[in-house]
Amino acid sequence: MSTQSYPLLDVSGLTMDFGGLRALNSVDLTVNPGEIVALIGPNGAGKTTFFNCITGIYNPTRGDIHISRDGKTRRRINGMKPNKVTQQGMARTFQNIRLFPNMTVLENVIVGRHCRTRSGILGAVLRNQRTRREEQESVDRSYELLEKVGLHQVADEVAKNLPYGDQRRLEIARAMATDPFLLLLDEPAAGMNPQETASLGELVLRIRDKENIAVLLIEHDMKVVMSLSDRIYVVEYGQGIAAGTPQEVSKNPNVIKAYLGEEHDA
Ligand SMILES: Nc1ncnc2c1ncn2[C@@H]1O[C@H](COP(=O)(O)OP(=O)(O)OP(=O)(O)O)[C@@H](O)[C@H]1O
């Protein structure tokens, strides 16, 4: 008997209509263990809509979204609420940073841990031993994550006071605090200076190689995309137009016309 092995994320025929506008038209995409996969395409191509569909913000019009943490069993997550999707092991960051600006750096990460702690409101009120132990574990784990993204020295700083690049790293730490097997990054390098972009690239590689978390990223910075990605999917007007390794995709005439050409002209 052959044993079936599933990708971490398997999206097929994903279609999303907004009234008369078809923002996604039967898009297929997979992410396998240990991969960094990029989703690229011109402005308005449907990339963020894709993320919103697979993280439960939108319920897609058609298509299937399956996830598999262990490769042996898989679960269809169409229409699952965003917090449930996170609990299932897919965490994301947003194009526009969504931190709690007046909370400290450490507190922002602790908030991410909440989806993995078990003590409810009663526990918080009674503050029994289990609650206190969980709280301490949350703090320890959150601090550890800050060390991993290089922000432990500013753990007690208020989040809004951090430079832009550090805020993006903090968002990544918060997403990692939910213990994902797949991390979705929506334009992680947007607005970063070259130095911040370089260290973001190193961080993404470490997340894959040391933390064993696969990554799916939307990114406009082609240098970042080409240097980090194992595979790339290209969408244009909601349609998948190419998929393959960076070398394959960069030679694809449709891609050059739709996207790379645009970038090269810029
Ligand atoms: N909630 C919505 N209601 C109606 N139309 C929407 C909605 N969200 C996105 N769209 C439309 O769907 C299309 C795809 O948008 P989307 O934001 O997914 O593109 P994108 O590839 O992420 O673009 P960018 O690179 O500029 O972020 C666009 O035409 C957009 O106007």
Query: Residue 77's Cα: distance from chain center in Å?
Result: 16
Q: pLDDT, tens digit, for every residue of 59-104?
A: 999 999 999 999 999 999 999 999 999 999 999 998 877 889 999 9
What's the confidence (pLDDT) of residue 266? 39
What's the confidence (pLDDT) of residue 129? 76
Q: pLDDT, tens digit, for every residue of 140-162?
A: 999 999 999 999 999 999 999 99
Q: Determine contact, residues 230/204, Cβ cutoff 8 Å.
A: no
Angle at Cα 6 formed by Cα 3 and Cα 227, nearest 5°? 130
Q: Determine contact, residues 166/153, Cβ cutoff 8 Å.
A: no
Pocket test for ligand 1, best of 29, 48, 236 (most atoms within 8 A of CB): 48
User: What is the identity of the amino acid at 247?
Assistant: Q
Q: pLDDT, tens digit, for every residue of 226-259?
A: 999 999 999 999 999 999 999 999 999 988 888 6
| Whether residue 41 has its Cβ less than 6 Å from ligand 1 | yes
CATH 3.90.1150.10 fits 1-89+180-265, yes or no: no
Ligand 1 center–CA 237 separation, angstroms:
10
Q: What gap in Å lies between CA 13 and CA 65, rounded to an integer?
A: 9
| Whether residue 148 has its Cβ less than 6 Å from ligand 1 | no
Q: Determine contact, residues 6/74, Cβ cutoff 8 Å.
A: yes
What's the confidence (pLDDT) of residue 154? 96
Max distance between CA atoms of the chain, in angstroms, equals 64
Least confident interval from 40-44, 179-183, 203-207: 40-44
Domain layout of the chain by residue ranges: 1-89+180-265, 100-179
What's the confidence (pLDDT) of residue 97? 78
Q: What gap in Å lies between CA 136 and CA 57, rounded to an integer?
A: 32
- Mean pLDDT over residues 165-170, rounded? 93
Least confident interval from 42-46, 82-86, 215-219, 260-264: 260-264
Residue 17 host element (H or E): strand 9-18
Q: pLDDT, tens digit, for every residue of 209-235?
A: 999 999 999 999 999 999 999 999 999
Give, as one character, the DSSP assignment of residue 129.
H
pLDDT of residue 12 exceeding 80: yes
**ipTM of the assembly?**
0.95
Ligand 1 center–CA 46 separation, angstroms:
5
Q: What gap in Å lies between CA 16 and CA 5, rounded to an integer?
A: 28
- Mean pLDDT over residues 38-46, rounded? 94
Give, as one character, the DSSP assignment of residue 162.
S
Q: Which residue puts its alpha carbon closest to atom 7 of ligand 1? A: 18
